[in-house]
Structure 1
């Protein structure tokens, strides 16, 4: 692929050697008494391989001896390798700027506190002092963060004591996130009647045509879906999932006693069992093969299933954070390291806490970390009909997606339930009557309502954009900024953002159009 090549040889009776190459390489021809040489080969920017013949000659008592080494520098793939991520343990979290206490009026895990320790005191002395105040240390979360256990119902009181005694710069509960879904009506089966009108709102059919001839050697970008669980055995979904050894359940059945499991992400009946399957199917339902549903990605992307909700439909701060870390490459859960063999480039979070002004500082730092690793996170704005976007969609490290109806207006479903909107809203996507996979059986499907259904439309659009980047050999160091700029250029309200629908519906055909300089800047 280019770089330094070291050659060594043994020709009996030779006192010096002549080294040359066809075609010429830098620093050759060379006359040397050494029986080794280092050559520098430039990387090959063309798609076709380059070949070199390195010829080593020496005069010996037996006459002229000649060795020939054939070197081949592989051609650059038509697809940029920039799409790939490196599996690595989470980097140290950046220094926390917040001080004080978190929101204890928001649903949270009973008996759990996440504490950012002040510097200056040893961990041992802090642990001992915290225990005297009713907080038992559980484990180090890295970067100054630690997990404590306390009596259920005493979280706020103990947090106040820890903060007042200088044992935490910041103390928060482990927040509980909710999947942003609403009721699902009965089944339907027709793409033309049910899906096409929604897909055409985002010009998906034209986008597929622009990606019709995907070049060989292009890796399918991976969209991680962190959710309630997945019916992975469905024949109309399974072909577009990552390999089973990459799936991860970060929590198991009980959030209070996490038991991570690799390769098994099946949902528990009644625990939002269909939610993850629905979200995944919007992206990855098998397309153009006679099955009931088409996926927005048209078989061009893969979905990585990560289960973050337990059997009671609870997902805490740590579960969401671990899912993000694992999607980016690796995470550590209760002392056990899980390395992801298929790192994701996009993470879909169809979950939120809808409380105006809410932030989760621990999760915020993980979001910053994975963004720096090149992962783009997408989240739903929430369904509480509030003039503020739910968290984590409201984070600056997340692309916030609301829901629209068939008339391209902010989606409103029934009393008290409508798409959250406000200053942090960036885009909208279909969220009313979206056909989704429903249940464990192939081709069973229903209609979904909510911003949970909207987020995967944008996650899919980003995945298709990254695929087109590969094909064009493009790469960008600040992936989130580039993705945002691209999507804005393709937004229905690109020139006139508004709080109800943000930059509007995204024209995916513009997102993958090589001539759109906002998406594919000229070098």
Structure 2
């Protein structure tokens, strides 16, 4: 089995109106929106040009399949024009295009030589730095190794289940994850689709890194990744870029969409994109956030999304994890190993290396574990539809874990029980 190391960050937009990575201990950025553009949806499309012209504006491109348009406006006039347009009966809504920002967490000093999130015996072991590390609680893992006896994510046709990773991109030059990518698109304002930030590569590795004797293994090692770059090389983006990414994932027939990101302010455009994806048959998974409070984060808080909290290797809620009855399930999110780009990238690694593997903490790490479990379920006889897959993921979670019913509605996800594997 592969060893995976991921840097400590979490992609979950924590800011009021801002989308950031979910990393513990990060202060929420100030409210902000993209200057020079707003999102508008008209009740009658034919009225759009006339309404916009009266405000000195021109029509703009569609935002995915949401029915909303991205309208260019004078910088500094965004809120004024939103207010004016909202009063027009032909306008269903007008809203800011919120800034999405990636935030890193503080380095974790422990280095795990194995992936406790996938398989944990509870035994003490020696870290890669020669330090004795407590193994934690045996049941703190999601029993992925046991689940692999039944499925590793290939569907009935033999093709891998498609999981869309809407993030900072996935590196094109890493032996453990690059070959798992089926398609790529860049909706960020970055010059290329390459992962210069590092977060997306880590998230993708948690889901589908190749299972062999090198590096790490993903929860669903035979899954295919759809790389939707919606955040730029500084880890920031916009609500509209996320909505476009969701629409693209649906077009590419993603069975699961993972978003290790979020924003505090709900967006009608974003919710429409999520609902359209659900209607199209996708399971949508998102990080719950790292504010350590019960404040809702979107898209995680939308009904058609599985919101994921983070636990540690002792099977308790991570101190940084957002929680509440609106959160659906929990998964390991502390010191999770995974892939990083094989070159320079913005996020620093725990061991000060600039490439390869490392650990990271955040609900950004917990979310892709759940996405991987959902993909495994899709590859079984239970994978008849997104409603049945979601029900299987949630109903098979370990409800005995402390916090079920208060910190999260269900328990810690369990890959083995989700796919009805036969335990040794």
TM-score by structure 1 length? Answer: 0.64
1:206 is aligned to 146
Unaligned runs of 5+ in 1: 1-101, 255-263, 330-339, 413-417, 516-523
Residue 484 of structure 1 pairs with residue 394 of structure 2: no
Distance 1:443 1:190 in 2: 17
Counterpart contact for 2:140–2:313, Cα < 8 Å: no
Question: Greater strand percent: which structure?
Answer: 1
Distance 2:36 2:99 in 1: 13
Q: Deviations over 1:132-182 (max 9, x none)?
A: xxx443334476523222222221122112223546331101122334752
1:303 is aligned to 225
SS in 1 for 2:323: coil
Distance 1:487 1:310 in 2: 31
Counterpart contact for 2:115–2:336, Cα < 8 Å: no
Where do 1:381-420 residues align within 5 Å?
381-412=288-319, 418-420=320-322
Unaligned runs of 5+ in 2: 1-15, 19-29, 121-135, 344-353
Q: Deviations over 1:328-387 (max 9, x none)?
A: 11xxxxxxxxxx4xx31101100011x3xx321011111111111111110000111121
Structure 1 residue 193: Cα displacement:
7.3
Where do 1:443-458 residues align within 5 Å?
444-458=356-370
2:347 is aligned to none
Structure 1 residue 323: Cα displacement:
1.0
SS in 2 for 1:438: strand
Structure 1 residue 277: Cα displacement:
0.7
Structure 1 residue 507: Cα displacement:
1.5
Counterpart contact for 2:98–2:238, Cα < 8 Å: yes
Counterpart contact for 2:118–2:141, Cα < 8 Å: no
> Which protein shows a greater Rg?
1
Cα distance change on mapping 1:193 and 1:308 into 2, 3 Å: closer
SS in 2 for 1:115: strand
SS in 2 for 1:378: strand
Residue in structure 2 matching 1:267, options 186, 195, 199: 195
Residue in structure 2 matching 1:285, options 209, 217, 227: 209
Number of residue pairs the alignment of both structures matches? 368
SS in 2 for 1:202: coil
Distance 2:90 2:69 in 1: 11
1:426 is aligned to 328
Distance 1:512 1:234 in 2: 29
Q: Deviations over 1:452-490 (max 9, x none)?
A: 000010000000011113xxxx653xx332123212221
1:218 is aligned to 158
Where do 1:242-391 residues align within 5 Å?
242=182, 246-253=183-190, 265-268=193-196, 273-288=197-212, 290-297=213-220, 299-329=221-251, 340=252, 343-353=253-263, 355=264, 358-391=265-298
Structure number with greater CO (CA < 8 Å, separation at least 6) is: 2
2:22 is aligned to none
RMSD: 3.1
Residue 508 of structure 1 pairs with residue 393 of structure 2: no
TM-score by structure 2 length? Answer: 0.78
Where do 1:83-162 residues align within 5 Å?
106-119=31-44, 122-131=47-56, 135-141=57-63, 145-162=68-85
Distance 1:192 1:449 in 2: 13
Distance 1:120 1:398 in 2: 29
Distance 2:155 2:309 in 1: 33
SS in 2 for 1:175: strand
Cα distance change on mapping 1:215 and 1:229 into 2, 3 Å: closer
Distance 1:475 1:193 in 2: 27
Cα distance change on mapping 1:502 and 1:405 into 2, 3 Å: farther
2:114 is aligned to 191
Residue in structure 2 matching 1:460, options 361, 364, 372: 372
Cα distance change on mapping 1:120 and 1:463 into 2, 3 Å: closer
Structure 1 residue 200: Cα displacement:
5.9
Cα distance change on mapping 1:498 and 1:475 into 2, 3 Å: closer
Residue 229 of structure 1 pairs with residue 139 of structure 2: no
Counterpart contact for 2:17–2:33, Cα < 8 Å: no
Q: Deviations over 1:430-454 (max 9, x none)?
A: 1111112123169821110100000
